[in-house]
Structures are given as C-alpha cells and as structure tokens.
Amino acid sequence: MVGPHGGKLINRVLKDKAEVLKHENEFEFIKVNTDVIREVENIAFGVYSPLEGFLNKEDFESVLNRKRLANGVPWTIPIVFDLDDKVAEKLTKGQKIFFQYNNKPVALFTIEEKFNFSKDEYASKIYGTTDIKHPGVQRVQNMNNTLVSGKIDLISSSLTEFQNYYLHPKETRVLFKEKGWLDIVAFQTRNVPHLGHEYVQKAALTMSDGLFINPLIGPKKKGDFLDKVIIDAYKTLTNHYYLKNNVVMSILQSTMHYAGPREAIHHSIMRKNFGCTHFIVGRDHAGVGDFYHPFAAHRIFDEFPDLGIIPLFFRSFSRCTKCNAIVNDKICPHPQKYHINFSGTKIRKLLSEGEVPPSDLMRPEVAETIIKEDKIFVE
C-alpha cells in the first residue's frame, strides 16, 4: 500500500484523556467553530499527514511561495489557525490551551508561535487573485490578523453527523488491505452523481482494484446540494450499479477552498493518506467561476514528481447521440452538434421541480432518492 504523505501517518488522538482533563481548571479555553474542529480532526486522524498541528511561519511562507513545507514535502493549502489579536497577545510559547466546542474541551493546543500575515499576499498566492468575488478570498479577508501555530492533541471527536460514513485513514488502510486492493482510485465529489460521473469512475475502476468515493462534507454555498442528499444519492447509485466488492464510500470532513490547481494537489494528498494510489482530476477541479484555466488543475501536477499519488486526468465528457454512448474529446470523432453536455444547471432545475431527469443524464433510482428528500439544497 502507498505510504502516507511525508512518510508517517500522524495520530494525534490522546490515549490518556483523563490525565489531560485534570488540567481543566488550570488551562485557558478558547471557543472554536465547526470549521476549526474539522481541521483539528483532520490533523489528529492523519488526513493531513505529515502535519501535527497548525502551520508555523516558516512552513506557511514556504507553502505560499514554493507550494511545499519548509522541509520540501509538497503542500499547497495553508492549514492555519487565526485568532483575534487581543486574545492572541496574551498567549505565550509553550502554553497549553483547550479548544472548546459544544461547551466541552475537545482538543489540547500547544502554542508554538504567533505571527502576522498579509491577506492580499495569501489570497494572490493561493487563489491567484485578490478579487473579493472569489469565495476563498472572501474567507481570507474575513480572517483575524494573527496566525497561531502549534501541535494538536485531540481529546474527543465532535463530528458526529454521518458517523457511519466517517472513516479515518488508518481505518481505510485496514479496509483496503482486507479487501486485497492494491490499486485504489479516489474520487472527490461535492455533488450528486449523474451518468457522466459514473462514466469517469467506472473508466478509472476498470484499470484498478477498487474505487474510493469520498464526498466532501462541510460548509457549502447557498444552492449547493445538502450533504445528506449527496450521501443518499451515492448510496443508491452504488447499491444499484456497482459491484459491492469494488467500491467504498466514506466522507471527508473538510472545507472547500475553491483554490483550483493548488486544491487539486491538496485533495490528492489527503486521498494518498487514506491509502489511495490514484486520484481522479476532472476539468476545472475545485474551481469557481472562471478564475482558473479549465486544465490548470492538470498542469500543476508537473511540478510534483515527488507527490506519491498518480493523477488520472479526465477532460470534459458528454453524451454523443451518434455514438449513442458517453464520450470524451479523445475518443469521439463526431462534431459538437451531436454532443449533449451533462448540464448541472438543467439537472438541478428538474430535481428542484420534483421531476426525474432523463435517464441518459441521471439514473432514475438516484433521481427518485433525491426528490424524495424533504430538502435538497442549502438555503
């Protein structure tokens, strides 16, 4: 099986919780939100291996400027903890604080360093723009001015929603080993599946032992499909149209950054830590609006011969009425007029009106599952 990124699968889950909780009246508490908890759990469970905590200044600057940690290991998205200046000013190096969530201490944070950063530089290097219309830029501009680095020790997991689909890297690695899979292809998604997605997944699966469908669960934009809808839709699809022994679905609790090419690398690294050998990268992967070239997320992989996971690039695909099949621009000789695109907008409109899209766009069972839900979209 592929080794974890950076050589070691990180486990920062405390074994002796009672020992740490003895200090409940001694250490300070900082209230954190669900976004921070997601990052904390990803660090603790090894999804972000080799990170053991939030980035320090040297690593942060190296990620911005070189797309690598200071030791040279590929890393493209800063995993940072920002804090209000007045709160940060009181913290000192080596100090231990509790992260508080739902009124209880959930993690121990050992302060390493505090530093300021330029939001414009962050935005322009990570997102390639400082345009406030970009959701990632908006997020950065709303951050506090001080970043605090340090190691994390998880006391208890708080992400209880979809618990039955929440597998950690050490669990998926045991699962893949038990299934006897060697070549494992990961598919990242934040949408309900249509036939185009199924085509890409099955094309990749044909050349590997197993498919790991890994929907991203986390904050979404208004109008996006609800997490539950995505999970239920995939459950229906895999039950009806996949061989049970060749596919696994579990969720990834993470924030979508819309960082296009840099995020494609980040998505690959996380799946490598889950034990995957291959990662599907589509057209305009992790893009938003027209901020990135449609194939920028393919080209960036040339900069990382040492990534340790193999990207599988897919260009655009559509249904060709002449071939009577799902095709891509490498395999179909017919002109555009014969091609019907998998229009997300069209599928979304039909589903929102309670209608089942045509079966050459979406499996009827999947559509039925979606329209049966009380609510489909984020409001």
Partner 1 sequence: MPDEYNVKIPKEVYESIKEKLKGTHFKDVNEFIIQHLKQSLKISDISDLGEEEENKIKQRLKSLGYLE
Tell me, yes or no, if 164 is annotated catalytic. Answer: no
Residue 78: CB minimum distance to partner 1, A: 18
Task: Kindly list the residues in this chain that would bind partner 1 in the complex (CB under 8 A).
Answer: 1-3, 9, 66, 68, 71-74, 164, 167, 170-171, 173-175, 177-179, 182-183, 248, 277, 304-306, 308
- Smallest gap from Cβ 306 to partner 1, in A, equals 4
In the complex with partner 1, which residue's Cβ is closer, 157 or 318?
Answer: 157
Question: Each residue of 321-351: b (16+ CB within 10 Å) or e?
Answer: eeeeebbbeeebeeeeebbeebeeeebbebb
Instruction: Identify which of residues 98 and 181 has a Cβ nearer to partner 1 in the complex.
Output: 181
Q: Which of 233, 238, 230, 194 is nearest to 212 (CA)?
A: 238
At its nearest, how many Å lie between partner 1 and the CB of residue 182? 5
Q: How far is CA 196 from the centre of its chain?
A: 20
Minimum Å gap between C-beta 68 and partner 1 is 7
Query: In sequence order, what are the residues at sequence separation of 6 or more whose Cβ sits closer than 8 angstroms to the Cβ of residue 98?
Result: 24, 27, 28, 29, 30, 105, 106, 107, 108, 109, 155
Closest CA to 14 of 113, 122, 102, 99: 99
Rounded to whole angstroms, the Cα distance separating 27 from 97 reads: 5
Residue with Cβ nearer partner 1 (163 or 336) = 163
Q: Judged by CB, which is closer to partner 1: 136, or 169? A: 169
Separation CA 12–CA 43 (nearest Å):
7
- The label of the residue with tokens 């723009």 reads 129
Cα–chain-centroid distance for residue 121?
23
Q: Least distance to partner 1 from the beta carbon of 178, Å? A: 6
- 167 vs 332, beta carbon nearer partner 1: 167
190 is catalytic: yes
Amino acid at residue number 223: G
The residue annotated as part of the active site, out of 66, 68, 190, 283, is 190
Q: What is the largest CA-CA distance in the chain?
A: 72
Which among 144, 145, 191, 246 is annotated as catalytic? 191
Which sequence positions are flagged as catalytic? 190-191
